[in-house]
Structure 1
């Protein structure tokens, strides 16, 4: 069976359930992309509050059906303005009740105003593209989500905090110093060049 090729089109506003599928007290639906806040406001009972938000705030209200304007669920919406979001883009996170029919209706409503379902890992991919994290931290996000043991979770969390990134930066700095010293000694063999920063 041929694998489906993922399409990460950065021009699309995207949405996805951030919490597991299943019945629970609460669920979180994440959106991101250019115009995402305005699109969510088209369904919100207080649209101007979202449109005028400078970000970093929560808003209480109802998400409504685009066609009937009937309430779909009582929600809280967190607004994040670029670049101060997980992805580095404008983003809205919807905190709703965790019933599967309710979640489905909200996702369908979001698609009706222009969102497309996010591909697996697409939010983290966008964070990487927009410089919110390097590749080591992006990989650590996946490792945290899929960790099977507490030790594995803690090791991945350590990498997410930047431990591996700092180590790699130190190695890179040392190698650049070594390269510079070698080039000086090769270009000016008769001169008293400074000692190499690390032993050969």
Structure 2
């Protein structure tokens, strides 16, 4: 059963659940906004939209950009390459079929953990690029996720109550100013 919390500090909730922080493959990194805040010694930031990586928020030497389609990640990495594989605000950008395949691939590539952070349910988002880098096609949401779906796949799930709300302009555009906040899911599978 999913753990429910009012704690909205995603990074704190994530960090306390990490088991090994040697290396991370972050799938769908965008411009790498939070990667410097993660405790991993080595990070590969994978994104299909090259302008995100060219304009990334960090040029830290321990973060290596990789411009590639995540649906092909099993072709780039052998099993047990990284301590963890993460999908932070990215799994919802793929249809369910592709996303489930990528989660299976991630379980092979990860030595310790597969990490997912995503809105709960379907969060409609289309024709928007938060970063103004013409990535609208890649920012479109194509799937929604519920805690039970991750639990059936063997993930431990934290439901972060009200994580998405009117402070986010895309939330207002998608749901309206008066819509109740939408929860987020932090799902972690130890492999």
TM-score if structure 1 supplies the norm length?
0.27
TM-score of the pair, normalised by structure 2: 0.27
